[in-house]
Amino acid sequence: MKYRISHPTKKLHGTITLTASKSESNRALIIQALCNEGFTINNLATANDTKILQQILNRARVSKTEGVYNVEDSGTAMRFLTAFFATKPGTHILIGSERMKERPVGILVKALRDLGAQIEYIEKEGFPPVKIIGKILTGTGVEMDGNVSSQFISAVLLISSELPNGLVIKFRGDVTSQPYVNMTLKMMEEFRVYGQWHDQYISVSQQKYHKKNDPYYSFEVESDWSSASYWYAIAALSKDADFTIKGLKHPSLQGDAIVADIFTFFGIKTEYVTGGIHLTKIKSKTEHFGYDFSDCPDLVQTIAVVANALGTSALFNGVHTLRIKETDRITALKNELNKLGAEIKIINDNSIELFPKPASTDLNTPNLIINTYNDHRMAMAFSALAMQFDSIVIDQPEVVKKSYPDFWEDLKSVGFAIEEL
């Protein structure tokens, strides 16, 4: 399936209520499963990743001691559940898609084994699928490189309530995506498990999750700042923007809230209003753009598309984790921006440079098809080009279900035309 996307006025006006954060939702679900006191999660994400995690946790509550669980293409579910099941008695097998078999989990498995976990690789060493024989983990200390995926760190932190001797995670080097680790710690604090940052390690003493002493307590999930980034891109490439996004907070637990600051460079002003944010256009800058995305790697594709469309050369640092996402995002980005005349230079594993050709130099592109590589962020990032081209064709548009299932409907609600091909 393909979608042809266009916008007749190229102006972004209106209001949407943004989809909920899958990052907060997935952490909340693990805490809920580990908490002895029941509580409600409000505004749970409808993202496929969250649905998969919730379904598996619900199944696990019933089967308890054994099961084979398919995480499909959800890296978060694979990582969080590997840690979760390591603490639950019984035999648990996690399988996934073919792409999931290419996404490494060896760093996480080693850390869990250091805590006493019994985990076996079913096929290739260091990669899913895995067999987990859950038990009480009596270890206390693990050591990890700081530049690993933050989900490995968060997966271990979230099960600290199950460790009878507490937890210490020591880091070699600076921690990548530290805001996501901080999100995990803040959500743990909400349920009375307190972790403490030290210079090169995090410590968590033995504590159990407890909800607040309020009979009506529920946890409210914020809307998703990563998903907001696509609307920032659309606004930046529009002729005019007067747009409200409901559901976002300031300050936010989410590291991708930095998108509001980043997009001032590309001519978008953010006003924090009751219940959300309001976007308007200001003068964009024209000089070379450079940023370290170590703390917010999910923004790279979106900002690369915008920079190219505006003719702004750009240096992206902190991109080393993009190779092991839903696809090799650096290669995917390079391939699709090449179609637009841009050049991506790979400097090293952590840095790429963009030499653009502005999209506005050729508005008539009826045969241009953007491949998405089974990656939701490729589909949504490149959709912003409908504000500069006559139209843009997105292959496999259904991939957005992973994080933002209502994306195409939200586009339609503010004047985009979407034709199924």
Contact (CB, 8 A) for 53 and 74: yes
How high is the pLDDT of residue 366?
62
Burial of 161 (0-12, 13-18, 19+ CB in 10 A): buried
As a three-state string, the secondary structure of the chain is: CEEEEECCCCEEEEEEECCECHHHHHHHHHHHHHCCCCCEEECCCCCHHHHHHHHHHHHHHHHCCEEEEECCCCHHHHHHHHHHHHCCCEEEEEECCCCHHHCCCHHHHHHHHHCCCEEEECCCCCCCCEEEEECCCCCCEEEEECCCCHHHHHHHHHCHHHCCCCEEEEEECCCCCHHHHHHHHHHHHHCCCCEEECCCEEEECCCCCCCCCCCCCEEECCECHHHHHHHHHHHHHCCEEEEEEECCCCCCCCHHHHHHHHCCCCCEEEEEECCEEEEEECCCCCCCEEEECCCCHHHHHHHHHHHHHCCCCEEEECCHHHHHCCCCHHHHHHHHHHCCCCEEEEEECCEEEEECCCHHHCCCCCCCEECCCCCHHHHHHHHHHHHCCCCEEEECHHHHHHCCCCHHHHHHHCCCEEEEC
- 291: containing domain: 2-19+223-420
Mean pLDDT of 110-117: 98
Domain shared by 235 and 302, yes or no: yes
Place of tokens 């007749």: 8
Joined tokens for residue 226: 């990563």
Domain shared by 101 and 241, yes or no: no
Residue where a domain stops, chosen among 220, 247, 277: 220
CA 287 – CA 76 distance, rounded (Å): 37
pLDDT 10s digits, 127-144: 999 999 999 999 999 999
Domain shared by 48 and 26, yes or no: yes
Mean pLDDT of 6-19: 97
Query: What CATH number is given to the structural domain containing 138?
Result: 3.65.10.10
Which of 413, 371, 388 lies closest to 1, judged by CA?
371
Contact (CB, 8 A) for 391 and 366: yes
Domain shared by 8 and 105, yes or no: no
Place of tokens 């020591």: 170
Joined tokens for residue 75: 């890296």
Sign, Cα dihedral of 23, 25, 26, 32:
positive
Q: Whats the size of the chain, residue-wise?
A: 421
Which of 292-306, 329-343, 357-371 comes out lowest in average pLDDT? 357-371
Instruction: Flag whether pLDDT at 315 surpasses 60.
Output: yes
Which of 40, 52, 42 lies closest to 21, judged by CA?
42
Joined tokens for residue 324: 């092991």
Dihedral over alpha carbons 237, 239, 244, 249 (to 10 degrees) = 30
Is residue 397 very low, low, confident or very high in pLDDT (cuts 50, 70, 90)?
Answer: very high
Residues pairing with 170 in the sheet:
143, 201
CA 105 – CA 128 distance, rounded (Å): 7
How high is the pLDDT of residue 63?
86
Domain shared by 227 and 103, yes or no: no
Joined tokens for residue 79: 């990582």
Of all residues in the chain, the percent with pLDDT exceeding 70 is 98
Burial of 365 (0-12, 13-18, 19+ CB in 10 A): middle
How high is the pLDDT of residue 89?
95
Domain shared by 213 and 361, yes or no: no
pLDDT 10s digits, 153-166: 999 999 999 999 99
Residue where a domain stops, chosen among 171, 196, 220: 220
How high is the pLDDT of residue 321?
86
pTM of the model: 0.93
Verify whether residue 298 is a known catalytic residue: yes
Domain shared by 204 and 140, yes or no: yes
How high is the pLDDT of residue 364?
59
Which of 295, 279, 305 lies closest to 379, judged by CA?
305
pLDDT 10s digits, 340-379: 989 999 999 999 999 997 544 455 566 689 999 999 999 9
Catalytic-labelled residue, pool 298, 349, 362, 406: 298
Mean pLDDT across the chain: 94
pLDDT 10s digits, 257-266: 999 999 999 9
Sign, Cα dihedral of 396, 400, 406, 410:
negative
Domain shared by 234 and 354, yes or no: yes
How high is the pLDDT of residue 361?
47
Q: How many domains are contained in the chain?
A: 2
Domain shared by 72 and 165, yes or no: yes
pLDDT 10s digits, 181-218: 999 999 999 999 999 999 899 999 999 999 988 888 99
| Cβ-based neighbour number of residue 345 at 10 Å | 11
Mean pLDDT of 52-63: 95
Which of 94, 67, 100 lies closest to 82, judged by CA?
94
Domain shared by 125 and 228, yes or no: no
Domain shared by 167 and 228, yes or no: no
CA 144 – CA 81 distance, rounded (Å): 19
Residue where a domain stops, chosen among 220, 254, 280: 220
Domain shared by 251 and 313, yes or no: yes
Instruction: Flag whether pLDDT at 71 surpasses 80.
Output: yes
Residues pairing with 131 in the sheet:
93, 120
